[in-house]
Amino acid sequence: MARLFIAILLVFSGLCGYAQTDTLVVVGDSLTRSEMAVPFDSTRGKRLKKVSENFFSTTLKIVGIDSLTDRDRPRIIFLRSMLVPGWGQLMNKDYWKLPIVYGAAAGGLIAIHKNSDRYNYYLKHVEILQENNQASMPPLDNPNGISISKETYARAASAFKRYRDLSIIGFALGWTLFAVEANVTAHLKTFDISDDISLRWSPTVIPGGGTYAAGVQFSLNFK
């Protein structure tokens, strides 16, 4: 009896094994068919092609190969101003703004240069003290002066590094603001802000409640 039970158990286990193997094959085949059924995104290539065409067209307009329309002009003015400071103001014929633009640019570059020089100057002292394992030394441009500690040089270098970074940020921000100003001015030049406003009136019929009444219609025309 025990042998018969063991034999039945072995046969049942074998059947389960075959059933599991068959199930796994079916599931795997089902997953394969499901993956093959996913449609290919044909619009991706079209979108990429459109982006490339827009970029190429914008580049041609920036360099002046293609002519500009009134709609393109403010955008191209902004992009040109981001490439060369004052280009947008020049296109808008705001010549009086050019000294302001280039004066601000020159001031920003001078500030960046000076702060960078002072940072490198004090950093050089820190490097020399570290190499020679010294605690203090006089300034390089005044060897007979008072010795200054390495910590003081390090604080000075850190301060001028911060000033240099702020100067760079200010220069970039000013450049962007002048480009935005040129873009806004280009938009405003297309607006008609004349004082020619005309008032017109005409007789009309006003319906209401199943009846009609005579009235007057007024209209303001902005030119």
Query: Does residue 159 register a pLDDT over 70?
Result: yes
Going by pLDDT thresholds of 50, 70 and 90, the confidence category of residue 59 is confident
Query: Does residue 149 register a pLDDT over 80?
Result: yes
Per residue in 55-78, is it b (16+ CB within 10 Å) or e — as a string? eeeeeebbeeeeeeeeeebbbbbb
In a domain, 27, yes or no: no
In a domain, 72, yes or no: yes
Query: Does residue 130 register a pLDDT over 70?
Result: yes
In a domain, 140, yes or no: yes
In a domain, 26, yes or no: no
What confidence score (pLDDT) does residue 71 get?
A: 78
What confidence score (pLDDT) does residue 11 get?
A: 44
Query: Does residue 183 register a pLDDT over 70?
Result: yes
In a domain, 155, yes or no: yes
Give the tokens for residue 129: 């003290």
Per the structure, the count of domains in the chain is 1
What confidence score (pLDDT) does residue 1 get?
A: 45
Comparing 47 with 133, the larger pLDDT belongs to 133
Query: What is the C-alpha separation between 70 and 55, in angstroms, rounded?
Result: 19
Going by pLDDT thresholds of 50, 70 and 90, the confidence category of residue 103 is very high
Write the DSSP string, the chain: -HHHHHHHHHHHHHHHHHHHHHHHHHHHHHHHHHHHTSPP-THHHHHHHHHHHHHHHHHHHHTTSSPPPTTTHHHHHHHHHHHSTTHHHHHTT-GGGHHHHHHHHHHHHHHHHHHHHHHHHHHHHHHHHHHHT-SEE--TT-TTS--EEHHHHHHHHHHHHHHHHHHHHHHHHHHHHHHHHHHHHHHHTTS---S-EEEEEEEEEEEETTEEEEEEEEEEEE-
In a domain, 207, yes or no: no
Query: Does residue 4 register a pLDDT over 50?
Result: no
Give the tokens for residue 115: 């702060």
In a domain, 63, yes or no: yes
Domain containing residue 98: 50-185
Contact 175, 85 (CB under 8 A): yes
Query: What is the C-alpha separation between 127 and 199, in angstroms, rounded?
Result: 79
Query: Does residue 127 register a pLDDT over 50?
Result: yes
The residue-averaged pLDDT of 51-69 equals 67
pLDDT in tens, 16-34: 444 444 443 434 444 454 4
The residue-averaged pLDDT of 51-61 equals 67
The residue-averaged pLDDT of 155-162 equals 95
Going by pLDDT thresholds of 50, 70 and 90, the confidence category of residue 10 is very low
Computed over every residue of the chain, the mean pLDDT equals 75
Contact 105, 175 (CB under 8 A): yes
Comparing 222 with 189, the larger pLDDT belongs to 189
In a domain, 114, yes or no: yes
